[in-house]
Amino acid sequence: MKFDIVTIFPRMVQAAVAEGVISRGVVSGALDIQVHDLREHTTDRHRSVDDVPYGGGPGMVMKPEPIVRAVEAIMARRGAPGAVILLSPQGRRFTQREAERLSRLSHIVLICGRYEGMDERVPELIGGEELSLGDFVVSGGELPAMVIVDAVSRLVPGVVGDERSVAEDSFARGLLDYPHYTRPAEFGGRVVPDVLLSGHHAEVRRWRRKSALARTLDRRPDLLEQAALDDEDRGLLAEILKERGRPDTVG
Ligand code: 9D3
């Protein structure tokens, strides 16, 4: 899978893709990631990538010409991408579902915004889709772009060493993860739940599912409303509510 990332901070992005799971994906040949310096696509003496906003107001706006030229150069050298993504606080929210959709493409271009944002004609002209990571402010699109590259790359076959981890992420989808424990069996006066030491695989599975449901109920009830629950899940949820003294209010 090919990624092209356009940024005014190429070293920042290069450093992030040179580590961990992504770097191993590049070394193994499953990923082909190129980072492009937006300033290489300027034509003026000062290599300007921003300018004052029409209509006035604070801050600067990213000029459209260098971005459009960068995308044209990428298409000439690397072919037409399946998606051009503009990282923007105004974008649609990036989710695991979006990551799965993007992982089925073979080439993605990501454009990192800085300053107050990009000239509005950029998405119009290059047919890009705007994506946001969520309702918080970061200083630019670089970190969000790296998050997207990471989330999508994990789904590309051969990038994550243990395929079971990726399979489990999608199996458990919709619920928070169950609690994890490793040795020692007692630490700081806290013991590992007996069932996990019991060797009863069916009981372990049931405890994990019930714990995941209880945590999701406590921390992310919004997820529970969306999750695809089966009859066992509804039974476990009823148990949780009964144990807490509020029977039959969910499911
Ligand atoms: C004054 C209004 N701000 C918009 C919410 C200005 C502004 C803040 C931060 C304009 C650009 C930015 C830089 N952020 C991104 O480019 C960005 C981002 C983000 O801030 N949060 C979550 N996802 C993303 S994707 C790109």
pLDDT (tens digit per residue) in 173-200: 799 999 999 999 999 999 999 999 999 9
Q: Is 117 in the pocket of ligand 1 (CB under 6 A)?
A: yes
Instruction: Name the band, by pLDDT with cuts 50, 70 and 90, for residue 244.
Output: very high
- Cβ–ligand 1 distance for 76 under 6 Å, the answer no
User: Which residue owns the Cα nearest ligand 1 atom 4?
Assistant: 89
Residue of 138, 142, 148, 149 with the most ligand 1 atoms within 8 Å of its CB, for mutation: 138
Give the per-residue pLDDT at 168: 80
- Closest-CA residue, ligand 1 atom 5, reads 89
The answer to whether 193 and 181 are in contact (CB under 8 A) is yes
Tell me the pLDDT tens digit for each residue of 2-12: 999 999 999 99
Q: Is the CB of 113 under 6 A from ligand 1?
A: yes
Ligand 1 pocket check for 58: Cβ under 6 Å = no
pLDDT tens-digit series, residues 96-116 = 999 999 999 999 999 999 999
Measured in whole angstroms, the distance separating CA 116 from the mean position of its chain's CA atoms is 23
Contact assessment for residue 66 and residue 40, using Cβ atoms and an 8 Å cutoff = no
- The model carries a pTM of 0.94
DSSP letter (8 states) at residue 230: -
Q: Which residues are catalytic?
A: 89, 116, 154, 169
- For residue 93, the SS3 value is strand
Ligand 1, residues 61, 67, 86, 88: which to mutate, most atoms within 8 A of Cβ? 88
Assign residue 248 a region: left if phi > 0, alpha if psi is -120 to 50, beta otherwise? left
Query: Which SS3 state, helix, strand or coil, does residue 121 take?
Result: helix
List pLDDT tens digits, range 129-169: 999 999 999 999 999 999 999 999 999 999 998 888 888 88
Ligand 1 pocket member 144 (CB < 6 A): yes
Contacts of 160 (CB under 8 A, 6+ apart): 21, 154, 166
Residue among 115, 137, 142, 148 whose CB has most ligand 1 atoms within 8 A, to mutate: 137
Rounded Cα distance, 97 and 131, in Å: 13
> Residue 169: its pLDDT value, please?
82
Structural element, H or E, at residue 240: helix 231-243
CB atoms within 10 A of CB 171: 10
- The predicted model gives 38-60 an average pLDDT of 98
Strands (E), the chain: 2-7, 32-37, 50-51, 61-62, 83-93, 107-112, 129-132, 186-187, 190-191
70 lines ligand 1 (CB under 6 A): no
C-alpha angle 16/121/10, rounded to 5°? Answer: 20
